Structure 1
Amino acid sequence: MKFQIKYFAAVLAAASLFVSCNNDDDSAIVEGTHGDAELFFDNGVAGDALIIGNTYTNSNGESLTINRFNYIISNVVLIREDGTEYVYPKEESYFVINHADELQTVHLEGVAAGDYKKIRFGIGVDQQRYLQGETAQQSFWDLAAANDLTWTWSTGYRFINFEGVFTSTADAEAKPFQVHQGSNTATDNYREVTLDLPTTARVRENEQPSIHIKTDINVLLDGDTKILLQNNLNGAGTAAAIMGGQNLIDIAANSLKMFTVDHVHNGVGSHHE
Structure 2
Amino acid sequence: MKNFKNITLALIALTALNSCSNDDVQAIADVSGSTQINFDSKVGTADFALNTPFTISGQSYQFDHLRYWVSDVKLVSDKNVTYALSNSFFLMEETSDILVQETFTYKANKREAIDLKDVPSGSYTKVIFSIGVDATHNDNMSIQDGELSQLNGMTNVSWMWHTSYIFSSLTGKNVTPDTPVAVSVETGLNANYRTVEITLPTALIVSAGKTAKLNLNVDVEKIIKDIDLVAKPKISASTPELMTKVADNYKNNVFTVKSVE
Q: Determine if the alignment matches structure 1 residue 66 to structure 2 residue 63.
A: yes
CA distance in 2, matches of 1:31, 1:164: 46
Within 5 A, what are the aligned runs for 1:113-262? 113-131=121-139, 133-137=140-144, 140-142=147-149, 145-146=151-152, 148-152=153-157, 155-167=163-175, 171-183=177-189, 188-221=191-224, 223=225, 226-232=226-232, 240-244=233-237, 245-256=240-251, 257-262=253-258
- Paired residues, number: 216
Paired AA for residue 55 in structure 2: T
Instruction: Tell me whether 121-130 or 212-221 shows the greater mean CA deviation.
Output: 121-130
**Alpha-carbon offset, residue 67 of structure 1:** 1.1
Tell me the secondary structure at the aligned position of residue 211 of structure 2. Answer: coil
Tell me the secondary structure at the aligned position of residue 50 of structure 2. Answer: coil
**How far does the alpha carbon of each residue in 1:99-148 deviate from its partner, in whole angstroms, 9 at most, with x for none?**
242211101112122110110100111113324x2332166332x632x2
CA distance in 2, matches of 1:30, 1:134: 35
CA distance in 2, matches of 1:56, 1:208: 34
**How far does the alpha carbon of each residue in 1:65-102 deviate from its partner, in whole angstroms, 9 at most, with x for none?**
111111110111101123221111x22x1101112422
**How far does the alpha carbon of each residue in 1:42-82 deviate from its partner, in whole angstroms, 9 at most, with x for none?**
001111110111111122x3221111111110111101123
User: Which runs of 4 or more aligned residues in structure 1 lie more than 3 Å from their structure 2 counterparts after TM superposition?
Assistant: 29-32
CA RMSD, Structure 1 to Structure 2 (Å): 2.2
Tell me the secondary structure at the aligned position of residue 147 of structure 2. Answer: helix
**Alpha-carbon offset, residue 30 of structure 1:** 8.0
TM-score by length of 1: 0.73
CA contact (8 A) 2:141 2:164 kept: no
CA distance in 2, matches of 1:54, 1:216: 15
Give the corresponding residue for 1:109.
Answer: 117
Choose which of 64, 82, 99 in structure 1 pairs with 2:79: 82
CA distance in 1, matches of 2:28, 2:141: 39
CA contact (8 A) 1:68 1:99 kept: yes
* Structure 1: tracts of 5 or more residues without a match: 1-28, 233-239, 266-273
Choose which of 34, 45, 48 in structure 2 pairs with 1:47: 45
CA distance in 2, matches of 1:189, 1:78: 23
CA distance in 1, matches of 2:213, 2:172: 31
Paired AA for residue 67 in structure 2: N
Within 5 A, what are the aligned runs for 1:89-100? 90-91=86-87, 93-100=88-95
Paired AA for residue 137 in structure 1: Q
CA contact (8 A) 2:90 2:146 kept: no
**Alpha-carbon offset, residue 229 of structure 1:** 1.8
CA distance in 2, matches of 1:139, 1:58: 34
Give the corresponding residue for 2:14.
Answer: none
Q: Specify whether residues 138 and 211 from structure 1 end up closer, same or farther in structure 2 by C-alpha distance, changes over 3 A only.
A: closer
CA contact (8 A) 1:161 1:178 kept: yes
CA contact (8 A) 2:94 2:110 kept: yes
CA distance in 2, matches of 1:174, 1:188: 32
CA contact (8 A) 1:198 1:262 kept: no
Paired AA for residue 191 in structure 1: R
Paired AA for residue 97 in structure 1: M
